[in-house]
Amino acid sequence: MRRFLRSAMIVFSWFVVPYSRYTNIKVIRRKLPPIRSHLLEIPAVDLAKLIRNRKIKSEEVVEAYIERCRQVNPLINAIVQDRFEEALEEAREIDNVIAMGINSVESMEEHTPLLGIPVTVKESIAVKGMTNQAGRVFKTPQIAKADAPVVEQIKRCGGIILLVSNTPELCLLWETYNNVTGQTKNPYDLKRTPGGSSGGEAALLASGASLLGLTSDIGGSSRLPAMFSGIWGHKPTPYAVSFRGHHPTSDFPKWGDFFTIAPMTRYAKDLPLLLKCMSDPTGPKLTLDKEISANGIRFFFMDNDGPSGMMRPLSRDLHAAINRVASDFNAKRVNIRKMKWSLDISLSAMLTMKNIETIYHKTEEGEQPKTVCKETVKYFFGCSDSILPSVIFGHLQNFMKIIPNSRHKHLASIIEALKTEFKELLGTDGVFLYPTFPNTAHQHYQIYHKLLEPMYMAIFNTLGLPVTNCMIGLDRRNLPMGIQVVANPGQDHLCLAVAREMERRYGGWVRPPSEDSHSHAQSSSKR
């Protein structure tokens, strides 16, 4: 089976790479407009303080982000629907309330810590009155009738929802395109993907068009886009954030063990603030206010998956960067042998979950349910409304049904053994450094011959561990590199403390190439 999958990826590459290069001929190699407003480069924790203290107005901030969205979206194609006018009106109301002095600065900081800050949301998360169809083609637009609980919490904390952003159909791909909004592009190189499924959010954040983003994660959907786009994405401890109000969803009892709504930010120092505002009051309590120094944390690391022989080795730049980080933090190299089963146990756990929303389960009123075989034929004749991952997901589920239960039980026992091993290794003061993906952002569609590599991330959904993608610099192509920081359940604060220290050491987010910098480089070379 393993040899078959690895061979299949090689065969796929014979078709995928030429197709990717062909489609990229149509993509114009342009740079983004330069960031000119200083308001766009202030972290949320600092921006909120300035708004509370009447140093700047929320309306000014929202206007700056709206302008930036309008500048970059024609290039990156990340916005599905905006609510710019409503956001400006909400900002003016907030400014008026602050000017009246009804609440003290201390009260606003405690009860509305996001007051006046714009927030963007992945379109698969329900925002009342906004489209909420996760990239699926419907004859009648699907509009959210109510906010997801996490969106309600952001609004209660004073956040202003600016827009909903692009996602692959039903969040079923580590790249962001669908047949409704089209393809989202990476701000660092428009010929490359920002990853998926939260690629719309990542592209906006990296472009300076967003500051805080609500995303989701079931197999790296927040972390891969964060890595490819040079920002910060955190998968929280299971159930710490409500997963309700998201498409796709499932009524499978353990759905929340694997899936979560997740924070994504441009600055690491903003992750604790956003996660605190997102946290479910009825879920596990996270000690996000706990002050902790990286010096008090034990570090462990691996720079491969066992090795299993299934996944590609790291690129030369990533291998050097991850080992440099390990050295900088005095991390101890470990060999967790069961990590080589990442692919097997993750696929077994996730694809055997029942009642997951797919194109075969939920249809519009009056529409006949789709069948796997018919939809596959329609797709290959160019007649399907869906993208390939949505079509083949049904085949994967059917394939899992023919695997003997004894095999699934054996893999489940490996999951429990791995959970125990991490629990004993990390305790309450340890983190594990691990690759996010073996290469930096690749060209569009090339994920199709790298479908095994996301198991570097999916394994931590399977194990139910909190994990943060951290930006650790640029490679030789000036593309962002990332590393995962993993902790035991409930120890999210350790991941976030390490993220802040990595931001301090390695600089964090870097402006994507802009027209100004490109022109300056050209003029310098002429001189």
| Catalytic (active-site) positions | 122, 197, 221
Q: Which residues pair with 212 in a beta bridge?
A: 265
Which residues contact residue 117 at a Cβ distance below 8 angstroms, ignoring those fewer than 6 apart?
Answer: 44, 47, 48, 51, 58, 61, 158, 159, 160, 211, 212
End-to-end CA distance of the chain: 59
List, in sequence order, every beta strand (DSSP E) within 220-367: 232-235, 260-265, 298-301, 332-333
Cα pseudo-dihedral 433, 438, 443, 448, rounded to 10: -110
Judged by DSSP in three states, 57 sits in coil
Q: How far is CA 374 from CA 62, 138, 361, 407, 507, in A?
A: 47, 18, 14, 30, 51
At 175, phi and psi to the nearest 5?
Answer: -145, 160
Strands (E), 403-506: 430-435, 467-474, 480-486
Q: 121 forms bridges with which residues in the sheet?
A: 164, 214
Evaluated on CA atoms 10, 454, 245, 350, the torsion sign reads: positive
What is the rounded distance in angstroms from the CA atom of residue 143 to the CA atom of residue 116? 25
Cα→Cα distances 141→11, 147, 168, 171, 172, Å? 38, 17, 16, 18, 20
Pairing state between β 430-435 and 298-301: parallel
E strand segments, 425-466:
430-435
Tokens of 240: 């710490």
Look at residues 442, 511, 450, 484 and name the one whose alpha carbon lies nearest to residue 228.
Answer: 442
H/E run at residue 13: helix 2-24
Alpha-carbon torsion (300, 433, 508, 328), positive or negative: positive
Helix (H, G, I), strand (E, B) or coil at 405: helix
Tokens linked to 382:
């160019």
Q: Is residue 284 within 8 Å of residue 466, measured between CB atoms?
A: no
Where would I find the H helices in 230-269? Answer: 255-258
Q: Which helix (H) or strand (E) holds 177?
A: strand 177-178
The answer to whether 298 and 424 have CB atoms below 8 angstroms apart is no
